């Protein structure tokens, strides 16, 4: 199975299993989610499902609009039946690193409002310990004016390297959908208690959210090398 086939397999399987008629659906972000939205659009067309889609980023809102699905928002739908989202890495305890594509704050808000949070991933994301697979570090969204003190504080607390994420086709930093910057913390200690780290990092003034999703993922649908 190629990487794209694995993403597609995981996404389609999750949509078929978890999306029911009349449900409120949290739409994650990233390349794997694209296949989930495509599958949902097929099912809406053929089964005449009524599904209201709550986006987790500019990208997922665009996907919902492109596929002519019903767009909702947390203001009117604060309780979501199921959210399906991708991940950059999933460890043995289903702790996730997310935010490789810069979307983590809205993803975590939407996941926290969801009765069920399902992660779809290809086989390259599956690890035992965080850092085994995803080498770019833990994304941390910060208020722009605070990025240097936050960088210094994380390095002093936990070591490793904390880098400001730079844009690719623009000079300067990546700016998130919320107008913030992203720091990528390349950690060295893989045995940290990630729930404590997440809470600790969020106590640093200027940190808005982290890409650590601890005990949030209930189900993982993996596109593996073997089709089961």
Ligand X SMILES: O=C[C@H](O)[C@H](O)[C@H](O)COP(=O)(O)O
Choice between 206 and 211, CB closer to ligand X: 211
Could you tell me which residues come within 8 angstroms of residue 171 by beta carbon, excluding any fewer than 6 positions away?
A: none
Q: Which of 23, 31, 143, 178 binds ligand X (CB under 6 A)?
A: 31
Q: Which of 39, 61, 98, 165 binds ligand X (CB under 6 A)?
A: 98
Partners of residue 197 on adjacent β-strands = none
Residue from the set 12, 13, 24, 29 that interacts with ligand X by CB under 6 A: 29
Which window, 22-30, 109-117, 181-189, 215-223, contacts ligand X (CB under 6 A)? Answer: 22-30
DSSP structure class, residue 50: -
Q: Examine residue 32 and tell whether it contacts ligand X (CB under 6 A).
A: yes
Least Å distance, CB 26 to ligand X, is 12
Catalytic residue check, 93: no
Q: Which residue of the set 17, 42, 89, 107 is catalytic? A: 107
Residue choice 104, 138, 140, 182 for contact with ligand X (CB under 6 A):
104
Judged by CB under 6 A, does residue 36 bind ligand X?
no
CB 46 to ligand X: min, Å: 25
Q: Hey, what are 152's tokens?
A: 């210094």
DSSP classification of residue 69: P
**Quick one: how many helices (H) and strands (E) in the chain?**
6, 13
Q: Does 107 bind ligand X (CB under 6 A)?
A: yes
19 scored as a contact of ligand X (CB under 6 A): no
Contact present, 192 and 174 (Cβ < 8 Å): no
Using the structure block, give the residue that is written with the tokens 């702790």.
Answer: 95
Rule CB under 6 A: say whether 26 interacts with ligand X.
Answer: no
Q: Does 177 bind ligand X (CB under 6 A)?
A: no
Q: Are strands 219-223 and 114-122 parallel, antiparallel or unpaired?
A: parallel
Q: Smallest distance, Å, CB 137 to ligand X?
A: 13
- Which of 26, 55, 101, 223 lies at the binding interface for ligand X (CB under 6 A)? 101
Nearer Cβ to ligand X, position 85 or 209?
85
Q: How far is CA 15 from CA 34, 49, 65, 146, 197, in A?
A: 12, 12, 18, 39, 32
Note whether 126 binds ligand X by CB under 6 A. Answer: no
Dist. CA 74–CA 93, nearest whole Å? 29
* Cα distance between the two ends of the chain: 12
Identify the bridge partners of residue 186 per DSSP, sorted by sequence position: 161
Tokens of 143: 């208020």
What positions carry a catalytic annotation? 107
Residues that bind ligand X (CB under 6 A): 28-32, 85-88, 98-104, 107
């Amino acid at each position: 199975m190629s990487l794209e086939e694995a993403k597609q397999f995981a996404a389609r399987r999750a949509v078929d299993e978890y999306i029911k008629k009349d449900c409120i659906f949290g739409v994650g972000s990233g390349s794997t989610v694209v296949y989930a939205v495509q599958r949902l659009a097929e099912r809406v067309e053929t089964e005449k499902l009524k599904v209201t889609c709550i986006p987790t980023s500019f990208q997922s809102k665009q996907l919902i609009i492109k596929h002519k699905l019903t767009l909702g928002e947390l203001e009117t739908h604060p309780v979501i039946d199921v959210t399906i989202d991708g991940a950059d890495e999933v460890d043995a305890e289903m702790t996730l690193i997310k935010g490789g594509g810069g979307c983590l704050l809205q993803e975590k808000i939407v996941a926290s409002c969801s009765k069920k949070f399902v992660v779809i991933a290809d086989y390259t994301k599956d690890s035992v310990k965080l850092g085994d697979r995803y080498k770019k570090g833990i994304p941390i969204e910060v208020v722009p004016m605070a990025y240097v003190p936050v960088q210094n504080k994380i390095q002093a607390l936990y070591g490793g390297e904390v880098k400001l994420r730079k844009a690719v086709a623009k000079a300067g930093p990546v700016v998130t959908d919320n107008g913030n910057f992203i720091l990528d913390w390349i950690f060295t200690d893989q045995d940290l208690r990630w729930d404590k780290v997440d809470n600790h990092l969020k106590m640093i003034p200027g940190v808005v959210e982290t890409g650590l999703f601890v005990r949030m993922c209930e189900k993982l649908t993996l596109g593996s090398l073997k089709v089961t």
